Amino acid sequence: DGGITQSPKYLFRKEGQNVTLSCEQNLNHDAMYWYRQDPGQGLRLIYYSQIVNDFQKGDIAEGYSVSREKKESFPLTVTSAQKNPTAFYLCASSARNNRARGTEAFFGQGTRLTVV
């Protein structure tokens, strides 16, 4: 089945630790995105990548890092510099082609990160 897989579903982090959230897609999409979801705030963009080996900061990139070494994979690391990391994290992908700029995004099932 084509889609986006996020793992783990639940993640607990101690203060001061870095943790990495996995995101894999087999949709052959060029573009991938990480969003953070907090209650009542909708989705906020953390990082995005339009092509392998290239990524850009979104609206709330501080305390996060990413890599895009393969087209299929876009892992997100939540570093100890992120002051309030407890949230629901969503990975998404979409076609990058300009002619399809009205295309919809496909989302993973999310990772719920809790700082303990």
Partner 1 sequence: AQSVAQPEDQVNVAEGNPLTVKCTYSVSGNPYLFWYVQYPNRGLQFLLKYITGDNLVKGSYGFEAEFNKSQTSFHLKKPSALVSDSALYFCAVRDMSENSGGYQKVTFGTGTKLQVIP
Binding site for partner 1 (CB under 8 A): 4, 6, 9, 31, 33, 40-43, 45, 48, 50, 56, 58, 88, 90, 92, 94-96, 98, 101-110, 112
Q: Closest approach of Cβ 108 to partner 1, in Å?
A: 5
Return d(Cα 55, Cα 32) in angstroms, integer. 9
- Copy the structure tokens of residue 16: 């001061």
What's the farthest any 2 CA atoms get from each other in the chain?
45
Q: How far apart are CA 48 and CA 116, in angstroms?
A: 28
Question: In the complex, what is the shortest distance from the CB of residue 97 to partner 1, in angstroms, rounded to a whole number?
Answer: 9
Smallest distance, Å, CB 17 to partner 1?
23
What is the closest distance, in whole angstroms, from the C-beta atom of residue 14 to partner 1 in the complex?
A: 22
Selection from 14, 45, 35 nearest residue 91 by Cα: 35
Rank residues 25 and 82 by Cβ distance to partner 1 and give the closer one. 25
Distance in Å from the first CA to the final CA of the chain: 35
């995105």: which residue's tokens?
Answer: 33
**Residue number with CB closer to partner 1 (19 or 46):** 46
CB of 6 or CB of 82, closer to partner 1: 6
